[in-house]
Structures are given as structure tokens and as C-alpha cells.
Amino acid sequence: MTDTLNVQLDDRSYPIYFNQDDSTLKATIHDLNQVNQACFLITDSKLHGLYQAYIESLGIPQTHVYIVPEGEPSKSVEQYEKILSFLASHSANRDAVIFAFGGGVIGDLAGFVAASYLRGINFYQIPTSLLAMVDSSVGGKTGINLPEGKNLVGAFWQPQAVFINQRFLETLPKNQFASGIAEVIKYGLIADKSFFNKLLSIENLNFDEPTLPSIIRRCCEIKAEVVANDEKEIANANGRALLNLGHTFGHAIENVAGYGDYLHGEAIAVGIHLACMLSEITYPTFSKTDTEQTTQLLVRNGLPILLKKPLSIKALNQAISRDKKNRASGIRFVLMETSGNAQTKEGIDEKIINTLWKKVGAVD
Ligand SMILES: NC(=O)c1ccc[n+]([C@@H]2O[C@H](COP(=O)([O-])OP(=O)(O)OC[C@H]3O[C@@H](n4cnc5c(N)ncnc54)[C@H](O)[C@@H]3O)[C@@H](O)[C@H]2O)c1
């Protein structure tokens, strides 16, 4: 039976379908075909290689499938333009619909194409990576990177539905699975201490972990609630920005290391470690034990808590100050007041940040 969660956003509300047998997805495509709404599918080369037969079974014409090279470099102006031209060359009109079949890269790229082609067409998310299932496919942030930084161009554009099918995780490489776990741990820290404790109690969190469906669902519930309260991240404090736990540090690490050295979740894992240490300094209610439990959980799941090689503190701080999450009021960090209860915090002294960078292996 299909398990459904609704993301409540007035006229932009939509369902997330969990672990269904594809019947809802196929029925959706069938219905669109019936009323002549042209369906297009965007995926990457790796997923196309693995799931060509599956993609063919969905009922979307093969000439409407667009394949980008796998990996973060495809979240580019170049690929974005190519897909727009592909749609235009197929005379896609405003009733055309896009299906994003892939990880966060495909969801963000295809979503931004949908947000901007003919001033916006409908799109659906079919996430295939753990990160995309628990995070990027929900909430409507779409976008691409510029050489100057990640996600600098984009739009808020909600999907019509998200179809989560955990069976895709069977082929997900272990390090990519771990990358998704960094986001899973994030949800526990920001919003749900008992969920965090549950994660702590699982020795080996793999794709065949029996409680994985409930873990994925809990992450989507937390994300849906946060997004419903602050869809466009405009709240002055807390709000959607809480989902950025570890990301201010993590994006700086990705940026300075050069994209490709760290998987997204790996950089976020180091960022979460830093955020824990900063929380300890800022709030006496967040203890050393809280940090230790978090690092233990990260390490146990194959994630780094220290930089893989030394990076310059100056360059990291410059990257932080360029981060698009900054507001006029300054650099905003997400910290835990207690484990399971995060707050946004501004006005942190740079000297403290420098000390913390050193603790994870950065250098002057
Ligand atoms: N929009 C948001 O709210 C949001 C949130 C978090 C992250 N993101 C973005 O998501 C991106 C990272 O997402 P990602 O980690 O999914 O990266 P990704 O899309 O590059 O996928 C990672 C790798 O795994 C492969 N892969 C995906 N699913 C697979 C499967 N089932 N079997 C085998 N291989 C599979 C892909 O081909 C790719 O090589 C980043 O660009 C990040 O900025 C967006």
C-alpha cells in the first residue's frame, strides 16, 4: 500500500509517495499522456546505464529522455542551456512536464529547467540517492552552480509530487549512501532527539536496514514541516535556515577544496562536527557528550569529521563570507541549543571560528 505524506503549501501542496510499487508513478504518466501533456525525463549517464529498462517501462518516449554526464559538474549553465534547447527543439509547450530521475544533481538541475522554461512548467521528482530521498527532492529548492560558487543561480519551484522508491538504493555506492546519512543525522540534531538516539542505536545503517523506510519518512516529515513554515527561507531567525546545519562550514570546504574532492555529505559531516563544537562554546546546554555522540555516529557511517587534507583558514573564511546564505545582518550559523533543538545564530567572533578550523585540520 502506498504511504503518503503531504507537503502543505497552499496551492503548491504536493504528495510524497513512499515505497510504492511504481503504480502511482506510472498512472501519473499514463494520465498525462492521455491528455497529450508531453512528458520528458532527465537523468544522468550512470543512472541511465543502470536503469534503462526501468526508464523505458515508464511510458515516456525514448526521444524525450535527456541524459547529462553524472556528477556535480552537470549542475552547470552549459547543461541547463542544453536541456532548454532540447525542450524547445521538441516543441515542448507550457503543458509539458519534466520527470527528474536521479540524485540531488538531477533534481536541482531538472527542477530549475522546469522553473524557468516558458516561465515555469510542472515537474516531478523521482529521487534515486539517499540524499535526494531525505532532502533535495522535497522543498522546491532548484538551481545550478557557477564557477564562483555552488547553487548561485536558482529558483524556488515545488514539484507536483515526489515518488520515493527505496529499491534504487541497492545500486547506490556505499560512499554516496554515507553522504545521504550526513543529512539524516542533521535532521536528528536540529529537530528530534529521539530520532537521533534511534540512529545511535543502529550499528550498521545500510540500504537493507529494516527501519530505513521509517528513517526516510521521518526526515521528509521534518523537512516538510520546516518548509511549510518558511518556504522561501525568509524568516529572520530559525525557519528553513535550520536545514543548513553544517552547511555554512561544509559549503566553504567544498568550495576551497575544489568540487569533486568531497561528496556533498562528506563536507557537511565535517561542517556538522564544527557546528557541534561551536554549539558547545555557545550553549552550555549542548555538552561535549553531545558532540562525541555525533562524531561517533558520523564516523561509524563512514563520514569524515576532519579535513581530508589541510586547507587555508583565510580561504575558508573568504568562502564563508561569500556564501549565499549570508544576510545583510551577517554570517548566520545553525547551532544546537540542545541536541534535537537548533537555532540560527549571528555575530560569532571570527577568532572562535579560526580556532575551530584548526581543530579539524585547517592551517593559517
Ligand atoms: N535542493 C535541495 O534542497 C538540496 C538539498 C541538499 C543537497 N542538494 C544538492 O544535491 C546534490 C547532491 O546530491 P547527490 O548526493 O544525490 O548527488 P548526485 O545526484 O550527483 O548523485 C551522486 C552519484 O550517485 C549516483 N547515483 C544516484 N542514484 C544512484 C543509484 N540509485 N544507483 C547508483 N548510482 C546512483 C549518481 O549518478 C552520481 O554519480 C548537490 O548538488 C547539492 O547541492 C540540494
User: Could you give the percent of the chain with pLDDT greater than 90?
Assistant: 88
pLDDT for the residue numbered 322 = 78
Please tell me the distance between residue 176's alpha carbon and the centre of ligand 1 in angstroms.
Answer: 8
SS3 122: strand
- Give the pLDDT of residue 32: 97
Alpha carbons 278 and 283: distance in angstroms, whole number: 8
- The CATH code of the domain at 3-170 is 3.40.50.1970
Look at residue 325 in the predicted model and tell me its pLDDT.
64
Cell, residue 55: 526508464
Does ligand 1 come within 6 angstroms of the Cβ of 28?
no
What pLDDT is attached to residue 328?
58
The residues annotated with a catalytic role in the active site are 119, 141, 183, 223, 233, 240, 244, 247, 251, 264
Give the pTM: 0.96
Residue 162 three-state SS = strand
Low-confidence residues in the chain, pLDDT < 70: 1-2, 259, 324-330
Residue 231, ligand 1, Cβ within 6 A? no
Q: How far is CA 350 from the centre of its chain?
A: 28
pLDDT of the residue at 326:
63
In this prediction, residue 202 carries a pLDDT of 95
- Identify the pLDDT of residue 74: 97
332-338 and 341-346 strand pairing:
antiparallel
Residue of the nearest CA to atom 12 in ligand 1? 104
What would the pLDDT profile of 93-151 be if each residue is shown by its tens digit?
A: 999 999 999 999 999 999 999 999 999 999 999 999 999 999 999 999 999 998 877 88
pLDDT score for 149? 78
Nearest CA to ligand 1 atom 20: 71
| CA distances to 74, 130, 238, 272 from 174, in Å | 22, 11, 33, 20
Are 3-170 and 173-359 the same fold in CATH? Answer: no
What phi and psi, each to the nearest 5 degrees, are found at residue 17?
-100, 130
> How far are the Cα atoms of 7, 60, 85, 95, 97 from residue 37, in angstroms, in the given order?
24, 11, 18, 5, 7
d(CA 21, CA 132): 19
Q: Quick check: CB of 172 below 6 Å from ligand 1?
A: yes
Parallel/antiparallel/unpaired status of strands 162-164 and 14-18: parallel
Return the C-alpha cell found at 271.
561542517
Residue 110's contacts (CB-CB under 8 Å, 6 or more residues apart) are 42, 83, 98, 99, 100, 102, 123, 142
Domain boundaries, the chain: 3-170, 173-359
The CATH superfamily label for domain 173-359 reads Dehydroquinate synthase-like - alpha domain (1.20.1090.10)
Most informative mutation of 16, 131, 227, 254 for ligand 1 (most atoms within 8 A of CB): 131
Closest CA to 154 of 194, 112, 184, 204: 112
Longest C-alpha distance within the chain, in Å? Answer: 62
Q: Which atom of ligand 1 is nearest to the CA of 75?
A: 41
pLDDT given at position 331: 85
Q: How far is the CA of 280 from the centre of ligand 1 (A)?
A: 31
Q: Where are the alpha helices (DSSP H) in 167-308?
A: 174-191, 193-201, 212-229, 247-257, 264-282, 288-300
d(CA 195, CA 184): 10
Half-sphere exposure for 360 (CA within 13 Å, toward CB): 29
Whole-angstrom distance, CA of residue 357 vs CA of residue 215: 31
Instruction: For residues 271 and 265, give the distance between their C-alpha atoms in angstroms, rounded to a whole number.
Output: 9
| Nearest residue by C-alpha to atom 11 in ligand 1 | 104
Query: 80-94, pLDDT tens digit by residue?
Result: 999 999 999 999 999
pLDDT of residue 1: 53
